[in-house]
Chains A and B, each alone.
Chain A
């Protein structure tokens, strides 16, 4: 009886591992080598202070769909330095480099909310913008977000599947084993793993919605962007945010996008002047 159970479990385990492996299986080898070459070229250019070339190399990786959080981070750094170089260290970044830097730090953080370096550099970049402080989230939301951000959505999903599997195995032990003590232990563990399964599934979904969230955008154009009261260039300008200001996209209507600022104010900007994170 016991050997049969073990056999069944090991077969299930092998199948499970195979499924997980197929999810993360490597794709085209060609674009992979190109991406790696670009990566090396970008780092080389960055260390040689040729930031324009570094930006180009890292943008290539993004175009190849090999954008990891680290790629976005490096791209953001290259933009930041390029802006500094072009303006000779002055604060007014001329060609939207600061906006691009903020955008790409945000993208890195979107992929990996735990990336400490990106958070640090984003804070520095944000100091150069005239962005207002965001309204702080509630305690529970913050704790929940932080917890969800501790792992990637796929890590949470994997944990949830493993926990489901554990629950099933423990439930089987509880239901089928003859030893009373073992059954008691199996029962309580099954309950715990069921709870962890539910929790990790919820966290995975939270993280998924954070990653696929396209409601946030960054203002990327060069100088102060006029924010109009209505989608019409003749309407009143209610505010002029600098590049690198993060906004929430409310709705998009062709040329115009309605955005909400961190302090709650809403207005319309040209769609070309914002880029979704």
Chain B
């Protein structure tokens, strides 16, 4: 306890505040591990002057009390930086002997300081029945100091926290000295080479502790401690460590003093070797994503993106921070796919990870500086980082959001980028840029190659089909057309003959001087000829129709007019009493004009 005496008035306020938290403490202390048949001490320490007779010891049910309580007080005064402080301790000590092996507890002791009752925490004590070593320095008197130290009395062990792990994981290896004798000092130490591991020394505290090993209790001292990270898979053997220590041996020797006996202290050297340790390093499971590059542990990824709008030729940067636990030393910077026109500089890496006994943890920050050389809107695709989590044995991919950046033209784009001054690489890229292959097709789905159609049987079949269609259609249609057109054709062919017959009839009437019958027969011959010739019903015939039909068949105007005139004359003469028209003239004209038409209109 620190009690501030009131000597320095100027510090009163401070002193008051100090006293307010400078509470008295009351603690119990005993070894956590002890052997059956070995007495041990239990101490209750209070760091303030206790009230008189206020100490109440616990009942030691499971132990025999060999001695105690013995009370001792300690008092000290210290001057630190001109400040005086004093401490006071009062210790109640018991010597106990365990009755049986097992786990026991020592109950709560209490004491009052200035009227306030303080209590200790209960103590847990493990009592083991020690294996009989058959040697040791107690009991029998040995004259040879070497032989007084048993083989198992002092050991060197290399302890590892894991024997089976993945590449990139880390393990802690500690070189521990186990001793049941008083070690005088370390003479030499050969640390094993950690081939296949990346190793790093850990700071250790120099406290000793007690530990049970092979049924015996040892004092243990950590000599060295490393953090190891395997760099290759397979079985890796860490060879033995070799240490030479000096041991103090006390030998009862009565040669010097035959009456009272005497103690002779020897210093014995002993070379200790640890057992080689085999570590099994597992290969990563298959199916690692492409962005995996050996990061093992558990991480989180955060990013600081540049401004959304930057000027061309101005510098900016992307920052990625990985934080968590894992093999920070072996992580390579995640790849950022910058657009081609960005000039990218070396990635900076700031490692803020700290080495702890369980591996490295902290964060690592990557900075990607760049200069945007050309204007436009660019997308920096999402950055991916994959790590392997050995606890779940899975790959986890972290990614940032894709980022769109607009580079504004400041008037100095491209043209002002001089090919010298370190931009030659960039110029090279540009030359390639304007001469690169075109992009792939993305919309045209693949289709089975259509086999060539021409010259295949199918093609020939189509050709034959079309040709036979022609033949069949021709035969069928021609026959039917002919049948249907037969009468018409015959009539047309015989049109002139019919006309001739009628003209002969008219001639007969002419000779008989029957004018009326003559003209009637003439008209019938004329109309009938045209009707038959052009396949027009006589009832539908007019002089206009006749003219039209004849003109279409390129009969000359004079003939057409003559034909029509004969019809007009005949019609006139048929009913007219006056006969100024000679029947013979009409007859001759008609024969002439029909033969003319016949010669022009074939068939």
A interface residue numbers (CB < 8 A to B): 1, 4-5, 8, 12, 15-16, 19, 22-24, 26-27, 32, 35-36, 38-39, 43, 46, 49-50, 61, 65-68, 70-71, 73-74, 77-78, 80-81, 89, 111, 117, 120-121, 124-125, 152-154, 156-158, 160-161, 164-165, 168, 171-172, 175-176, 178, 201, 204-205, 208, 211-212
For the A-B complex with A36-B446, A156-B454 known, give 4 more contacts whose Cβ atoms are closer than 8 Å.
A38-B446, A50-B290, A168-B469, A208-B454
Q: Is the CB of B473 within 8 A of A172?
A: yes
Q: Is B66 an interface residue (CB 8 A)?
A: no
Chain A residues near B337 (CB-CB < 8 A): 49
- In the bound complex, what is the Cα–Cα distance between A171 and B470 (angstroms)? 8
Q: Is the CB of B438 within 8 A of A117?
A: yes
Q: Is the CB of A172 within 8 A of B446?
A: no
Q: Is the CB of B458 within 8 A of A19?
A: yes
- Closest residue of chain A to B446 (Cβ to Cβ) is A66
Q: Is B12 an interface residue (CB 8 A)?
A: no
Q: Is B591 an interface residue (CB 8 A)?
A: no
Chain B residues near A15 (CB-CB < 8 A): 465
- In the bound complex, what is the Cα–Cα distance between A175 and B465 (angstroms)? 19
Q: Is the CB of B448 within 8 A of A66?
A: yes
Query: Number of B residues whose C-beta is below 8 Å from A?
Result: 43
Q: Return B373 CB to nearest CB of chain A, in Å.
A: 18
Which of B462, B463, B478: most chain A CB closer than 10 A? Answer: B462
**A168-B470 contact, Cβ under 8 Å, with A66-B446, A111-B449, A208-B455:** yes
Give 10 pairs: A residue, B residue, CB < 8 Å, sorted on A: A19-B458, A19-B465, A23-B450, A39-B445, A70-B446, A73-B440, A117-B441, A161-B459, A165-B466, A211-B452
Q: Is B444 an interface residue (CB 8 A)?
A: yes
Chain A interface: which of B52-60, B233-241, B429-437, B578-586?
B429-437
Contact with A along B463-502 (1 / 0, CB 8 A): 1011101101110111011001100000000000000000
Q: Is the CB of A73 within 8 A of B452?
A: no
Q: Is the CB of A80 within 8 A of B437?
A: yes
- Closest residue of chain B to A205 (Cβ to Cβ) is B454
- In the bound complex, what is the Cα–Cα distance between A204 and B456 (angstroms)? 12
Q: Is B162 an interface residue (CB 8 A)?
A: no
Chain B residues near A211 (CB-CB < 8 A): 452
Q: Is B461 an interface residue (CB 8 A)?
A: yes
Chain A residues near B455 (CB-CB < 8 A): 205, 208
Chain B residues near A78 (CB-CB < 8 A): 440
Q: Is the CB of B453 within 8 A of A157?
A: yes
Which of B440, B444, B478: most chain A CB closer than 10 A? Answer: B440
Q: Is the CB of B446 within 8 A of A124?
A: no
Q: Is B447 an interface residue (CB 8 A)?
A: yes
- Closest residue of chain B to A158 (Cβ to Cβ) is B453
The listed residue (A154, A160, A164, A205) touching B450 by CB distance below 8 A is: A154
Q: Is the CB of A5 within 8 A of B477?
A: yes
Chain B residues near A201 (CB-CB < 8 A): 454
Chain A residues near B453 (CB-CB < 8 A): 23, 153-154, 157-158
Q: Is B213 an interface residue (CB 8 A)?
A: no
How would you classify the secondary structure of chain A's contact residues: helix, strand, loop or mixed? helix
Q: Is the CB of A65 within 8 A of B448?
A: yes
- In the bound complex, what is the Cα–Cα distance between A8 and B465 (angstroms)? 12
Q: Return A106 CB to nearest CB of chain B, in Å.
A: 14
Q: Is the CB of A124 within 8 A of B442?
A: no
Chain A residues near B461 (CB-CB < 8 A): 19
- Closest residue of chain B to A115 (Cβ to Cβ) is B441
**A74-B458 contact, Cβ under 8 Å, with A154-B452, A168-B470:** no
Q: Is the CB of B459 within 8 A of A124?
A: no
Q: Return B444 CB to nearest CB of chain A, in Å.
A: 4
Q: Is the CB of A12 within 8 A of B469?
A: yes
**A172-B452 contact, Cβ under 8 Å, with A35-B446, A77-B437, A80-B437:** no
- In the bound complex, what is the Cα–Cα distance between A125 and B462 (angstroms)? 43
Q: What are the nearest 10 A-B pairs in CB distance?
A: A157-B454, A168-B470, A66-B446, A74-B440, A121-B437, A70-B441, A70-B444, A204-B454, A154-B453, A157-B453
- In the bound complex, what is the Cα–Cα distance between A68 and B290 (angstroms)? 30
Q: Is the CB of B441 within 8 A of A124?
A: no
- In the bound complex, what is the Cα–Cα distance between A16 and B461 (angstroms)? 10
- In the bound complex, what is the Cα–Cα distance between A35 and B450 (angstroms)? 15
B interface residue numbers (CB < 8 A to A): 290, 337, 432, 435-442, 444-455, 458-459, 461-463, 465-467, 469-470, 472-474, 476-478, 480-481, 484-485
Q: Return B472 CB to nearest CB of chain A, in Å.
A: 8
Q: Return B345 CB to nearest CB of chain A, in Å.
A: 18
- Closest residue of chain B to A19 (Cβ to Cβ) is B462
Chain B residues near A12 (CB-CB < 8 A): 465-466, 469
**A157-B474 contact, Cβ under 8 Å, with A1-B481, A66-B446:** no
**A68-B440 contact, Cβ under 8 Å, with A161-B463, A205-B455, A208-B454:** no
Q: Is the CB of A1 within 8 A of B477?
A: yes
Q: Return A81 CB to nearest CB of chain B, in Å.
A: 8
- In the bound complex, what is the Cα–Cα distance between A192 and B303 (angstroms)? 72
Q: Return A107 CB to nearest CB of chain B, in Å.
A: 11
Q: Return A212 CB to nearest CB of chain B, in Å.
A: 7
Chain A residues near B467 (CB-CB < 8 A): 164, 168
Q: Return A42 CB to nearest CB of chain B, in Å.
A: 8
Chain A residues near B473 (CB-CB < 8 A): 5, 8, 168, 172
Q: Is the CB of B449 within 8 A of A16?
A: no
Which of A32, A35, A46, A168: most chain B CB closer than 10 A? Answer: A168
- In the bound complex, what is the Cα–Cα distance between A152 and B485 (angstroms)? 47
Q: Return A41 CB to nearest CB of chain B, in Å.
A: 12
Which of B454, B461, B467, B481: most chain A CB closer than 10 A? Answer: B454
Chain A residues near B290 (CB-CB < 8 A): 50
- In the bound complex, what is the Cα–Cα distance between A266 and B163 (angstroms)? 66
Chain B residues near A80 (CB-CB < 8 A): 437
Chain B residues near A161 (CB-CB < 8 A): 459, 462-463, 466
- In the bound complex, what is the Cα–Cα distance between A119 and B441 (angstroms)? 14
Q: Is the CB of B444 within 8 A of A68?
A: yes
Which of B436, B445, B463: most chain A CB closer than 10 A? Answer: B445
Which of B290, B337, B453: most chain A CB closer than 10 A? Answer: B453
- In the bound complex, what is the Cα–Cα distance between A91 and B336 (angstroms)? 24
Q: Is the CB of B446 within 8 A of A89?
A: no
Which of B337, B441, B481, B484: most chain A CB closer than 10 A? Answer: B441
Chain A residues near B469 (CB-CB < 8 A): 8, 12, 168
Chain A residues near B470 (CB-CB < 8 A): 168, 171-172
